[in-house]
Structure formats: C-alpha cells, structure tokens
Structure 1
Amino acid sequence: MKDFVIPLVLAVIGLAATGLGAVVGARAAKFGAEKSAEAVRRQVQDQGAVEHAHWLRQQRFSTYEGFLEAWDECLRLTQASAEADDPDSTGLEDLRLAADRMAGRARRIAILGPSEVTHAAESLAETMQEDVKVAVRFIEVAQASIAEVDGRPIRAEAVSEATEEYRHRTQQVADLITAHRSQGRDLRELDGHPLLRAAMESIDQCRRTSGEAREALSANVERLSAAMSEAFSMVDVLTRNKEARELSRERFTSAAREALSKTPTPDLRSDRG
C-alpha cells in the first residue's frame, strides 16, 4: 500500500507543478502583453501630442502673421487717406473692410490662444474699428457743414454792388445839393427829387444786403465752429487710440513670440518600464 501511495502522491505533485507552471506562464505572458500594449499606447499618445503641438504652432504662426498683415494694411490705408488731398468714401470703405479682417483674425486668435496674445489682438482690432467709426463720423460732420454753409452763401458780390450803388447815389445827391447852393436856391426845392428817392432806395438795399450777409456769415461761423469742436474731440480719440495701439502691438508681438517659443510638448513621463 505504501509503495502505491508514494508514487501516486509524486504524480499528483508533478501534475500540480505542471499546472502551476502553466498558470504562471500564462500570467507572465499576459503581463508582458499588457506592458507592450501600454508602451504602444504611450507611444501613440506621445506621437499624437507631438503632431498636435506642431499643428498648433503652425496654426498660431499663420494666424498671427495674417493678423499683422491685416493690421499693416490698415496702417497703409490710413496713411494714404491722410495724404490724400480729397479723401473719399471709397478709401474709407477699404479701411473698414481691413479693420473687419483684423477683428475676424483676432477672433481666430481667441480660439488658438494663448490669452495674452488674444487680449493684445482684440485691443488692436477694437481701437482700429473705433478709428473707422470716428472717420465716418468726421466725414458726415464735414459734409453736413459744407452743405449747410453752401445753403446759406455769403453774397459778397451783392454786398459790393449795393455798397457801390449807395456811394454813387450819395455822390449824386451831394453834387445836386452843391449845385443848388451855388445857384442860391432853396434846398427845400429838392424834396421829392428823383435822385433823393434813388439814394434812399440804395440805402435800404445796402442795409438789406449787408444784413443778409451778416446773418449768413454768423450762421456759417456758428456751424463751422461746432464742426471744428467736434473734429477736435475726434482728433483726441484718434490720438489716444494711436498711443494705445502702439502699446498693444508691442504686447502682441512679445506675447506671440513667447507663445511660439513655448509650443506645448508631449508629457514625457518618468515612470515608464
């Protein structure tokens, strides 16, 4: 019996050892597969992060560059308008479209970031669009002033003619009086004389013409003064915006340069096996 039990026990132990070895081997294979899969996953993630970082940097660079191109176009159009002898609405419309392009590219920058670049771009775009609104208002004020002044012309020629007629009639009356006195005649005889009536009419005409000219001149001066006052206010706004843009552009270029130099990189972990 003893001889039978011992070989049986040894056989069972051998079988168990074989099964245990199989289990251990299977688990080791599974662990190895999992490690391999994790390594592949991390490699894919890292590669994706690298590609995304490269894509983001390229998108930012392109958008920043496009924004500055729109900004430079606005500067060119502004300078051209300032140098023009007779600025028209066509140039202003071109400037408005360029400012709108600036605003559109600033909105794209807001998507790509970072926030420092976004804020500077938005500030640049806002001040430029405000300048366009001010320029539109300036043209409206100027055109309204010109129309009102043209509607109340100062009739300088009429005043000159009436004044000359008055002087002529006055001289005629003076000559008439001198002639009567030299003849020893009574000046009361001149009552109702046609020259006296003509002189009085010329005086009335000169007074009316001069009064109309004074009224037109006063109204025109008042209108032009109001327009000039508003124009000075607009100049103050444009000056402030120009100074603000100079600071915003400096902030934009500095922030953009920093953002492009610090493009996100993949997370390189130290716990890899």
Structure 2
Amino acid sequence: MKDFVIPLVVAVIGLAATGLGAVVGARAAKFGAEKSAEAARRQVQDQGVVEHGHWLRQQRFSTYESFLEAWDECLRITQASAADDAPDSTALEDLRLAADRMAGRARRIAILGPPEVTHAAESLAETMQEDVKVAVRFIEVAQVATAAVDGRPVPIEAMSEATDEYRQRSEQVAELVRDHRSQGRDLRELDGHPMLRAAMESMEQYRQTSRKAREALSANVERISAAASEAFSMADVLTRNREARELSREQFTSAAREALSKTPTPELRTDPG
C-alpha cells in the first residue's frame, strides 16, 4: 500500500507543479506585455510633451515679437507727431489703432504666458491706451475752450476806435478851455457847447466798450485757465505713463528672454503603482 501511495502523491504533486508553472508563466508574460505597452505609452507621451513645448515656445516668440512691433509702431507715430509742426489729423486715429493692436496681442500673451510676460505686456498696453484717451480728451478740452473764446471775442478793434475818439475829443475840449481862459472869458459859457456834448458821448462810448472788453477778457481768461489746468493734469498722467512704460518694457523684455531661453515642459503626471 505504501509503495502505491507514494508514487501517486508524487504524480499529483508533479501535475500541480506543472499547472502552477503554466499559470506563473502566463502571468509573467502578461506583466511583460503590460510593461512594454506602458513604456511605449510613456515614450509617445513624452514625445508629445516635447513637441508641444517646442510649439509653445515658437508661438510665444511669434506673439512677443508681434507685440513689440505694435509697441514700436506706437512710438513711431508719437515721435512723428511731436516732430511735425503741422501734424496729420489722422495721427491720433493711427495711434488708437496701434494701441488696440497692442492690447489684442497682450491678450494672446495672456493665453500663452508665462505670468511675468503677461503682466508686463498688459501694463504696456494699458498705459498706451490711456494715453490715447488722454489725448482725445485734451483735444476736446482745447476745442471747447477755443469755441468759447471765439464765441465771445474781445472787442479789440472797437476798443481801439473808442479810445482814439475819446482822446481826440478830450484834446479838443482842452484846447477850447485854453482859448476861453486866454480870452478871459467865463468857462460857464461852455455849458451846452457841441464840442463838450461830443466829448461826453465819446467818454460814454469808451466806458461801454471798455466794460464789454473786460467782461469778455475775464470770461476767456477763466475758460483758458480751466483748460490749462486740465491740460497740466493730463501732462502729469502722460509723464507717469511714459515712466511706467519704460519700466514695463524692461520687465517685458527680461521676462520674455527668460521664457524663450528654455523650452516649456509641463510636468508629467505619474500614475500610481
């Protein structure tokens, strides 16, 4: 009995071992296939990330360059207008369009990043657009002030004529008085004299013309002073914006160089296990 059982047990164990070996082999083959697939997947993913990084870098370079082109265009327009004694009436509209292009390209930079470049680009675009608004407002103020002054001109010519007339009549009256005194005549005889009446009329005309001139001049001075005060405030804004742009330009170029000096490579997600 013992001689029979032992071989049987050995045979059963052999069969079990053979089956277990087959299972282990199948599991090992499946594990190897999964590892190969994972390696291939990661290789494809890594290659895609690298290609996307190169694409993003190229997109950033192109957008940064086009943004600076719009900014340089704004500078050319403002410099040309400042140097021209009779600037073209379309210069302001050209500047507005160039500033709008700056803003549009700054919005694209906000999509492409990074944040440091975005912030500097937005600052440059905002101050340039504010300059355009200030320039438009300055023109409106100047036009209103000019129209107001033109609408109430100072009667310079009438004032000059009234002054000359009054001076001549005064000299005539003085000559008349001297003649009466030299003749020893009573000055009361001059009451109602036509020359005295003409002198009084010229004096009244002089007074009325002078009053109108003073009122017009005072009103115009107030309007011009108000316009000048607002213009000074606008000049302060333009000066601050220019200084801010100088700083933002340096920040933009520095951040752009840093962003373009390396290919953007997003961090890969690591699967657990």
Compute the displacement of 1:88 (Å). Answer: 6.2
Matches within 5 A, 1:64-213: 64-87=64-87, 90-213=90-213
Question: Residue 90 of structure 2: SS of its match in structure 1?
Answer: helix
1:131 Cα deviation from its structure 2 partner = 1.2
The whole-number CA distance in structure 1 between the counterparts of 2:41 and 2:18 is: 34
The alpha carbon displacement at 1:23 in A equals 3.0
Deviations 1:138-165 (A, max 9, x none): 1111111111111121121111111111
Counterpart in 1 of 2:37? Answer: 37
Name structure 2 gaps, 5 residues minimum: none
| Residue 51 of structure 1 pairs with residue 51 of structure 2 | yes
Q: TM-score, normalised by structure 2?
A: 0.87
Note the alpha carbon deviations across 1:236-273, whole angstroms, 9 max, x for none: 1111111111111101110111011132237699xxxx
- Identity over aligned residues, as a percent? 85
Task: Name the SS of the counterpart of 1:264 in structure 2.
Answer: coil
Q: Is the 8 A contact 1:46 1:266 kept in 2?
A: no
Whether 1:218 aligns to 2:218 is yes
Identify which range, 104-113 or 76-85, moves more after superposition: 76-85
CA contact (8 A) 1:145 1:223 kept: yes
- Deviation of 1:211 after TM superposition, in Å, equals 1.6
Quote the offset at 1:12 in angstroms. Answer: 5.5
Instruction: Tell me: CA distance 1:221–1:87, structure 2 relative to 1, closer, same or farther (3 Å).
Output: farther
**What is the distance in 2 between the residues matched to 1:125 and 1:257?**
19
Contact 1:46 1:267 in 2 (8 A): no
Of 169-178 and 1-10, the range deviating more from structure 2: 1-10
Query: How far apart are the structure 2 equivalents of 1:113 and 1:238?
Result: 28
2:61 corresponds in structure 1 to: 61
In structure 1, C-alpha distance between the alignment counterparts of 2:156 and 2:21, rounded to whole Å: 121
State the number of aligned residues.
Answer: 269
Distance in 2 (alpha carbons) for counterparts of 1:143 and 1:49: 58
Q: Deviations over 1:78-107 (max 9, x none)?
A: 222323334565322221222222122112
Q: Distance in 1 between matches of 2:59 and 2:185?
A: 106
CA distance in 1, matches of 2:160, 2:75: 49
Alignment of 1:219-258 (within 5 A): 219-258=219-258
What SS does the corresponding residue of 1:46 show, helix, strand or coil? Answer: helix
Query: How far apart, in 1, do the equivalents of 2:144 and 2:122 lie?
Result: 33
Residue 254 of structure 1 aligns with an amino acid whose one-letter code is S
Q: How does 1:7-22 map to 2 (within 5 A)?
A: 15-16=15-16, 18-22=18-22
1:137 shift after superposition: 1.5
Q: Is the 8 A contact 1:173 1:195 kept in 2?
A: yes
Q: CA deviation at 1:29?
A: 2.3
- Using the alignment, how far apart are the partners of 1:88 and 1:151 within structure 2? 26
